[in-house]
């Protein structure tokens, strides 16, 4: 028996590094936290996705009046509300939500293991993050980035909430974007068939993340344009375009999710260009869609949206994304060495300028902007003076976690261990404790962090008063 144990330990030492072991333990710990807590369904969105999954699994893409009434009553009996099934025409009700997440959930729902859907996505996301950062720098950075992706508080929360698009829209985008960046960094070294498979999977996951959350589209466009521009520059240098290795896998990866969403929209809405959001009465627009418009009091609508969102970000964003404290300055540190330390000999910090080629750095910056700046202009979150502690506001920003984790990991990898270990422990433990307080209603941290309240900036209005839903749900103060 002792010989067998000794041989197993020897094998582990030969094949598993300390950094890989730490990530493995971290993954098991994070998923144990997620799976041992009850599934949380605090918002109407959760119920819309739940019934969307249930109905799609039965082949019901459109509901009639009796079906929607029955499901609405069932939701109320369980303490929820079903708002985001919308009337397409008399007697026909459809989900407002993008269908990508629902399509992904259906097989797990049918196998009666829906909670494992996000566990599988988390596993794929951690594996891709690890291999990307290992290729980018080393296993130390890979360990840091993997733990940041797992234990960021809002990531743990949304991993629990399986009947939402939030975690899948992060994980699929991170898997696809991470695979693409890995391919880009290693394309001259990896075998052609492996490169083609990486590109196919990369753009398949990127595309599916878009049909899970439409606002991932700008990030998908940035990644695709990067591929096109880099290949054009290679072609101008006399390098051929690799049709079989690159073009065909990329096109196939894009076409599968594109075909899925076009067929769904055509058969459900009667037009390939029509979606559930196009008939939604809820506040789902962005400030730029209100340019030049004012409310009944003559106050700029875009100005209100941006101001209130900025206030919400300053209050909430650091709680859901504590690694921003390192990630945002990290971007500026990299830019500093790119612009002002070009001739300095490569050292621990100045080597950042070589670690981040301009094209990759611009992709990461664009990714960050397409989430964190875009959602500062989102009218739905603008109305939240207080809402569900840190969760309700932060969940919209989750697809922007990946570039912050990458930059944060490559910055933190330069910390001496006497700084790195306590900083990383604080981030991991804070994320775990905040999630535990939210999931089990504990009293570990200040109660306001997870208080499930809802207060808007406009007395009497649940939604912004210039919207159809704001008028419909008005309650006199």
Residues 28-62: pLDDT tens digits?
999 999 999 999 998 999 999 999 999 999 999 99
- 81 is a domain residue: no
For 182-197, b where at least 16 C-beta lie within 10 A, e where not — what string? bbbebbeebeeeebbb
Residues 6+ apart with CB under 8 A from 55: 61, 63, 67
- Taking residues 57-82, report their average pLDDT: 95
Q: Is pLDDT of 9 > 70?
A: no
At residue 471's C-alpha, the angle toward residues 465 and 472, to 5°, is: 140
Q: What is the pLDDT of residue 85?
A: 95
Q: Between the CA of residue 118 and those of 48, 149, 241, 428, what are the distances in Å?
A: 18, 13, 37, 19
Section 137-143 average pLDDT: 95
Mean pLDDT, to the nearest integer, of 183-189? 89
CB–CB of 96/276 below 8 Å? yes
Q: Compute φ and ψ for 294, nearest 5 degrees.
A: -130, 160
Percent of the chain scoring above 70 in pLDDT: 93
- Does residue 107 belong to any structural domain of this protein? no
Do you know the residue count of the chain? 477
Confidence at residue 453, expressed as pLDDT on a 0 to 100 scale: 75
Please tell me the predicted confidence (pLDDT) of residue 37: 96
Q: What domain count does the chain have? A: 1
Average pLDDT over residues 451-473: 74
Name the residue among 429, 460, 459 with its Cα closest to residue 33.
429
Residue 329: inside a domain, yes or no? Answer: yes
Please check the confidence at residue 2 and state whether its pLDDT lies above 90: no
Residue 311 in any domain: the answer is yes
The pLDDT, as a whole number, for residue 465 is: 83
Min mean pLDDT across 2-16, 24-38, 55-69 is at 2-16
pLDDT digits (tens, 9 = 90+) for 204-216: 999 999 999 999 9
Domain-located, residue 56: no
| pLDDT above 80: residue 348 | no
pLDDT of residue 161 exceeding 90, the answer is: yes
User: In the prediction, which pLDDT does 3 show?
Assistant: 65
Q: With respect to residue 124, please indicate whether it lies within any of the assigned structural domains.
A: no
Range of the domain at 432: 287-472
* pLDDT reading at 347 higher than 70: no
Query: Residue 41, class by beta-carbon neighbours within 10 Å (0-12 exposed, 13-18 middle, 19+ buried)?
Result: buried
Residue written as token pair 């490569």 = 346
Residue 362 forms part of a structural domain: yes
Question: pLDDT confidence of 448, banded at 50, 70, 90?
Answer: confident
What pLDDT digit, counting tens, does each position of 242-291 carry? 766 888 999 999 999 999 999 999 999 999 989 999 999 888 999 999 99
Q: For all residues of the chain together, what is the average pLDDT?
A: 90
Q: Are 442 and 32 in contact (CB under 8 A)?
A: no
Its pTM stands at 0.94
User: What pLDDT band is residue 476 in, cutting at 50, 70 and 90?
Assistant: very low
User: Is the model's pLDDT at 164 over the cut of 90?
Assistant: yes
- The reply to whether 90 falls in a domain is no
d(CA 42, CA 46): 7
pLDDT of residue 338: 85
CA-to-CA dists, residue 404 to 54, 111, 155, 318, angstroms: 35, 35, 13, 13
Residue 203: the pLDDT is 97
């Amino acid at each position: 028996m002792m010989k067998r144990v000794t041989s197993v330990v020897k094998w582990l030492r030969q094949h598993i590094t300390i950094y890989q072991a730490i990530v493995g333990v971290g993954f098991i710990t994070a998923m144990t936290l997620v799976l041992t807590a009850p599934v949380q369904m605090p918002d109407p969105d959760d119920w819309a996705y739940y019934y969307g999954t249930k109905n799609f699994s039965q082949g019901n893409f459109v509901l009639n009046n009796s079906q929607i009434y029955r499901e609405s009553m069932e939701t109320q009996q369980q303490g929820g509300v079903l708002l985001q099934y919308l009337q397409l025409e008399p007697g026909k009700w459809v989900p407002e939500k993008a269908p990508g997440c629902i399509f992904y959930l259906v097989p797990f729902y049918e196998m009666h293991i829906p909670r494992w859907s996000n566990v599988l996505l988390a596993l794929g996301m951690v594996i891709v993050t690890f291999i990307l950062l290992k290729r980018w720098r080393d296993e130390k950075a890979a360990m840091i980035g993997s733990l940041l992706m797992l234990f960021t508080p809002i990531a743990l929360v949304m991993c629990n909430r399986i009947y939402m698009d939030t975690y899948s829209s992060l994980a699929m985008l991170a898997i696809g974007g991470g695979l693409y960046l890995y391919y880009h960094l290693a394309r001259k070294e990896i075998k052609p068939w492996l490169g083609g498979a990486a590109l196919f999977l990369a753009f398949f996951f990127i595309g599916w993340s878009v049909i899970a959350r439409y606002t991932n589209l700008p990030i998908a466009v940035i990644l695709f344009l990067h591929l096109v521009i880099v290949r054009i520059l290679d072609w101008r240098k006399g390098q051929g375009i690799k049709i079989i290795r690159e073009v065909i896998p990329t096109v196939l990866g894009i076409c599968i999710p594109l075909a899925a969403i076009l067929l769904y929209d055509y058969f459900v809405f009667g037009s390939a260009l029509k979606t559930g959001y196009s008939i939604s009465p809820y506040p789902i627009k962005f400030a730029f869609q209100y340019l030049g418009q004012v409310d009944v009091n003559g106050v700029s609508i875009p100005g209100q949206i941006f101001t209130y969102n900025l206030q919400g970000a300053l209050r909430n964003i650091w709680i859901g994304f504590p690694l921003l404290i390192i990630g945002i300055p990290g971007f500026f540190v990299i830019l500093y060495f790119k612009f002002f330390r070009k001739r300095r000999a490569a050292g621990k910090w100045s080597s950042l300028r070589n670690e981040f080629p301009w094209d990759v750095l611009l992709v990461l910056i664009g990714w960050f902007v397409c989430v964190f700046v875009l959602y500062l202009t989102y009218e739905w979150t603008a109305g939240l003076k207080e809402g569900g502690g840190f969760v309700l506001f932060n969940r919209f920003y989750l697809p922007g976690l990946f570039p912050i984790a990458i930059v944060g990991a490559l910055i933190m990898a330069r910390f001496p261990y006497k700084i790195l270990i306590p900083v990383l422990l604080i981030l991991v433990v804070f994320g775990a404790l905040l999630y535990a307080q939210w999931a089990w209603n504990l009293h570990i941290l200040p109660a306001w962090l997870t208080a499930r309240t809802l207060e808007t900036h406009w007395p009497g209005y649940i939604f912004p008063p210039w919207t159809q839903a704001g008028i419909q749900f008005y309650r006199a103060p």
